[in-house]
Amino acid sequence: MLKSYRISTLAHVLVGLIVFCSSPHLLARQQDANQSEDLFEMPIEKLMDIEITTASKKEEKLFKTAAAAYVITSEDIRRSGATSIMDALRMVPGLQVARINANKWAISSRGFNDEFADKMLVMIDGRSIYTPYYGGIRWDTHDVMLEDVERIEVIRGPGGTLWGSNAINGIINIITKNAKDTQGGLLTGGAGTEEEGSGAVRYGDKIDDKTYFRVYSKYFNRDDGTQPTGGSGMDGWDVFRGGFRIDSDPTEKDHWTFLGDIYDGDIGQTGTAYSLTAPISRSYTRENTITGADVLTRWKRTFSDDSDMILQLYYDRQERHEEVVTETLNTYDVDFQHRFPFADRHEITWGLGYRLHRHTVDGSFQYSLDPGQRDMNTYSSFIQDRITLVEDELQLTVGTKAEHDHFCGFVFQPSARVLWTPDHRNAVWGSITLAEKTPNRHERDSTTSWGVFQVGPSLISQEAYGRDDVRCEDATAYELGYRTKPTDKLLLDVTGFLNVYDGIVASERLANISMPGYTIRPYEFGNNLDGETYGTELSATYQAMDNWRLNAGYTFLQMQIHPDGSSSTRDATIEGQAPHNQLHLRSYLDLADDFELDCSLNYVDNLPSGDIPHYLRFDARLGWHTAKNLELSVVGQNLFDKRHSEFGAEGNQVPTEAERALLVKLTYRF
């Protein structure tokens, strides 16, 4: 039986090995210096024989980022066989990605993972999809056509300055391709055991030499999952989505983007409805409906290489009908940002933003918000100075975001980052950031009934209440990282972090309240928990051969959360929802005759609360470029196990297990 600690030991050995082997970086640096001097001694004919390896601008930028950053490229998405953003995120070290059931996911970085994980910010093309309702991301609602994704940038740790609140544990930035890069037609179709039917079509063309556009539409139908007990989870879902994007360069210095999407979907949910009159609890299965749209426009003016300005506006609408609640959210946002050099060694970036959320919830006994409708304004600003202390070698970035949040007033989030690049093969960075998570409507305005049951002759109603005085959660994040390229084929990236939290919101049980005919067992939200989390994240990329590339990732996380004062909250549950160790291995192999064989292995430690055992997941993909415009891929997911659980019962969700799945997909370009 695979014991958690044995994997942990093996993983620690691996970490040790990799760290030990990066000490040759010192050797490499010496050799590098020698190499440069040797270059000067080389006769010119030999110089002309040297092959130049150039890292792409993006790779160089990533190498010199003073943060724990990871980029999922469009190649990574294609070759992972992922059918959703959520599956693609599994490869990122430092992220916990747990499939709760067929349509619900818990994704967060560095702990506090939950269906409603509220410490991670996610954006699509500059549009925030973090909801002010309960704080968190609706992974069943937001989606993009994966073939349109240029890259997904994941930064673990506070994005503090620039993006602001609610990114204490990290930010995921999904960026779609410029319309110029998606010209022509693309048609995909897939059929499988879990992804029963899916298809997408996209067409791009140019309006004139400076303006390009694309339109797309996609549809998928995903199968019900199986409950641990064996029954169907009735959690199948299908969503139709469509949209467009226009990119234009009206002048050499201007770039303008305009995009929009609409969607409509049915999402299966099994839950329990509670009531004070018979039947006091009733199980239901229902197709929730989601519908929505968004438009975004962005204008970027480039003054020079180190100076530019961006103005962005967007509108987002979401409507959602569930059994116990109906919700509408309209978001209006405007952002401005300007970057310019100052006094030789400084690069200043500053910005202003305004966001309005108009949120309405039509509730029921089981769930309601008071007031039902709320307009939430957030005024934000930020300023950042990137100071070059030693040209090309030492850089200090200081900055802060100042926000006026609807609920808790002025919020300041300063940060300082240092980057040291002794040569082009090594980078060391460190940072200290103060970050905040603002209160959301659930924590402030809600009344939830999460159980009505009979105890002997008495009727008990378990209820949770939000409170007006729930304030921001604070976090101080200390991070240290090291990146090295000991050879041109190997890249290693290590990060260590310590987060100190204060005032994490959790519910606290209060004294029972007697009501005519029943008793309330009340819970109240409050900033009741303090604690620390710490850990390390490691990733390695190795180009073993021209046609074979390997990736590895390892995550270690330890959480120590405790109630402050006399609170009686379930801190053990929060700690127990984080896996201590995660390991990821991935291989991309290009075979002769246009074949690709891609495999990935994921190990996730057990989750003590919820009794979820550790699991090992193996995915494989065989891709074949049959003809010039046609690509066929066969993807097997979770091949080792018939099915396994990834997350426990949570709120009103019925968890189902991730099953072994097969998918066949055809992609045709015209």
Partner 1 sequence: MKVRAVNLIVLSMAIVAVPAVTPVRADPISAHEREVKAAFLYNFMKFVEWPAEKMGDANEPVVVGLIGSKEFIKAIEPIVHKKINNKNITLKYFADYEKPEKAQEADRGQWNQKIEALKSCHLLMFCSCDSVRVEATGEIIKALRDSPVLTVGEADGFLESGGMINLLMEDKKIRFEINTAAAKKSALKISSKLLRLAKRVVVEESPQ
Q: Which two tokens stand for residue 281?
A: 């609890």
Q: Does 56 bind partner 1 (CB under 8 A)?
A: no
Site for partner 1, residues 420 to 439, rule: CB under 8 A: 424
Q: Does 59 bind partner 1 (CB under 8 A)?
A: no
Q: Which of 5, 9, 35, 512 binds partner 1 (CB under 8 A)?
A: 35
**Per-position x/- string for 373-412, each x denoting binding to partner 1 as judged by CB under 8 A, each - no binding:** ------------------xx--------------------
Q: What are 71's strand-pairing partners?
A: 153
Nearer Cβ to partner 1 (72/540): 540
DSSP 481-533: EEEEEEETTEEEEEEEEEEEEEEEEEEEE---EEETTEEEEEEEEEEEEEEEE
Q: What is the DSSP letter of 220?
A: E
Nearer Cβ to partner 1 (315/542): 542
Q: Does 47 bind partner 1 (CB under 8 A)?
A: yes
The one segment of 16-24, 199-207, 453-461, 563-571 that binds partner 1 by CB under 8 A: 16-24
Q: Which of 4, 8, 14, 219 binds partner 1 (CB under 8 A)?
A: 14
Q: Which of 2, 334, 515, 649 binds partner 1 (CB under 8 A)?
A: 2
Q: Which of 54, 56, 277, 566 binds partner 1 (CB under 8 A)?
A: 54
Q: Does 450 bind partner 1 (CB under 8 A)?
A: no
The one segment of 46-54, 163-171, 226-234, 528-536 that binds partner 1 by CB under 8 A: 46-54
Q: Does 451 bind partner 1 (CB under 8 A)?
A: no
Q: Which two tokens stand for residue 663?
A: 């998918």
Q: What is the DSSP letter of 126?
A: T
Q: Which of 27, 207, 276, 498 binds partner 1 (CB under 8 A)?
A: 27
At its nearest, how many Å lie between partner 1 and the CB of residue 579? 16
At its nearest, how many Å lie between partner 1 and the CB of residue 27? 6
Q: What is the DSSP letter of 147?
A: G
CA distance 243 to 261: 4
Give the closest residue to 603 by CA, choosing from 577, 621, 585: 585
CA distance 218 to 221: 11
Q: Which two tokens stand for residue 611?
A: 């009794």
Q: Which of 88, 124, 171, 552 binds partner 1 (CB under 8 A)?
A: 552
Q: What is the DSSP letter of 91?
A: G
CA distance 571 to 530: 9
Contact 93, 555 (CB under 8 A): yes
Contact 299, 256 (CB under 8 A): yes
Contact 250, 242 (CB under 8 A): no
Site for partner 1, residues 165 to 204, rule: CB under 8 A: none
At its nearest, how many Å lie between partner 1 and the CB of residue 587? 8
Q: Which of 52, 278, 455, 592 binds partner 1 (CB under 8 A)?
A: 52
Torsion angle, CA of 78/81/84/85, rounded to 10 degrees?
Answer: -60
| Cα distances (Å, whole numbers) of residue 194 to 54, 227, 238, 530, 644 | 42, 14, 12, 41, 14
Q: Which of 53, 56, 229, 514 binds partner 1 (CB under 8 A)?
A: 53
Chain residues in the site for partner 1 (CB under 8 A): 1-2, 6-7, 10, 13-14, 17-18, 21-22, 24-25, 27-28, 31-32, 34-37, 39-40, 42-45, 47-54, 57, 305, 391-392, 424, 486-490, 492, 540, 542, 544, 550, 552, 583, 585, 601, 603, 616, 618, 640
